[in-house]
Structures are given as structure tokens and as C-alpha cells.
Copies of this chain bind each other. A is one copy, B any other.
Amino acid sequence: MATTRPDTAFVHDIRVTWGDCDPARIAYTARLPWFALDAINAWWAEHFAPAGWFEMELDRNVGTPFVRMEMDFRSPVTPRHILKCHTWPSALGTKSVTFRVDGVQDGVTCFEGSFTCVFIVADQFKSQPAPDDIRALVEAHIPAA
């Protein structure tokens, strides 16, 4: 993945449960991108709009649909430990932002993911450049090279 996890990255805690696990007794693979998106939503909630994407779309008319995701799965996720999702923006383009999410349990990195979304005028589903306040916010959180 493109960037190294900064010590200052926002951490979103997820309590993995019985219902997240499959018969192999580990979290089902399709739950892991769901967890990562929960973490990105929590990043927005923490830094920009308390109700996250819901508030951004409905109150601010800014949508951020995803155009790409990639994930490497390194170690199983289980309910034994909190899943700490380290979440930070790693790149900002004119019309897109990329988030990294590293899922860590008990000190072990379980997955690393990279998720790119674009900005749209929500009620028109039409592309737009990153709004200025969002641009400033994201830039302030991208780790120095």
C-alpha cells in the first residue's frame, strides 16, 4: 500500500461479534470492507460532520461515492479483541480522496485497505471538485512524505 500508517492516525474501534463470523470461526471476508467503510464514515463523523456520510449527503449535499477499493488480508479477524481501524487520508486529487484503513487486533495487522472516492453534488449525482473546507481538512491529515 502507498503510505505507512502514521502514529497520529484516527482509530475507530469495532466490536467484532459472533454474527460477523463464519463457520471457520473468523470474521467473514465480506464483513471486512464493511468494517473499513464504517471506519471511514467514523473519520468523517469525527472530523467534519457528526452524523458522517448521512449528514454530508442530506444536510450539505456532498456525496463521496467510491470508485475503487483494494484490500490485503494478512491475519484473521475474530471477536477475541477489539478491531482497531487506523484510518487516514493518504492522497488528495482535484476530484478524489484516498483513505487508508489498517485493521489491527491485539497488535497484529489483520488487513490493510485503500479506498478512493470522488466528490459529487449529491442531489444531482454530478461530479465536483473537492469543496474547499473538505480540501483543507484532508490536506491537514495527510501524513508528510
Contacts and interface: CB of A to CB of B under 8 A. Distances in A.
A71 to B, nearest CB: 5
Nearest to A50: B80
Interface of A is mostly: mixed
Interface in A16-57: 17-19, 21-25, 28-30, 33-34, 37-38, 41-42, 45, 51-55, 57
5 contacts: A19-B34, A24-B65, A29-B69, A54-B78, A76-B125
Interface of A: 15, 17-19, 21-25, 28-30, 33-34, 37-38, 41-42, 45, 51-55, 57-58, 63, 65-74, 76, 78-80, 122, 125
